[in-house]
Amino acid sequence: MLLTIDTDDPRPIYSQVADGIKELIARGKLAEGAPLPPVRQVAADLGVNLNTIAAAYRALQDDGLIVIKHGSGAVVASRTATERNPDELLRQLRAALTELVLAGFSTRKILGIVARELK
């Protein structure tokens, strides 16, 4: 699993890790049922505290994206089992689009960004 930490990123490290795993799931690089590496291994690979990785895994479990089975590790959850509220997801999308507009991006530029990210 290829994850990187950006020390210049204002987000907490656990959030960067969780977002990186979300991206891997969204891109199909971590399929449903795929095991995630143990917390200790990810922490050692990234050179961070294992509690940081545990927090990332808990956040992903709270989002319904992974299932943590104590003693046997974490696996990617079934997409049909995820209970994500569509209204909340749309609210997050609207907030992100608003930030792009406020940053001065044109509609055309925003559509290009969205199309590129969907690939």
| Pair 56, 113 in one domain | no
Q: For residue 38, is it within any domain? A: yes
Contact present, 19 and 11 (Cβ < 8 Å): yes
| Pair 107, 58 in one domain | no
Is 0.95 surpassed by the pTM of this model?
no
Q: What is the CATH number of the domain that holds 40?
A: 1.10.10.10
Whole-number Å distance between alpha carbons of 95 and 79: 24
Rounded alpha-carbon distances, angstroms, from residue 69 to 29, 77, 94, 95:
21, 11, 34, 34
Q: What is the domain count for the chain?
A: 2
In the structure encoding, which two tokens stand for residue 37, read together?
A: 């590496």
Q: For residue 2, is it within any domain? A: no
At 94-118, the pLDDT tens digits run: 999 999 999 999 999 999 999 998 8
Rounded alpha-carbon distances, angstroms, from residue 56 to 13, 42, 63, 97:
8, 11, 11, 25
| Pair 50, 93 in one domain | no
At 33-88, the pLDDT tens digits run: 999 999 999 999 999 999 999 999 999 999 899 999 888 899 999 876 556 678 87
Residue 25 lies in domain: 13-81
| Pair 28, 72 in one domain | yes
Whole-number Å distance between alpha carbons of 58 and 67: 9
Q: For residue 43, is it within any domain? A: yes
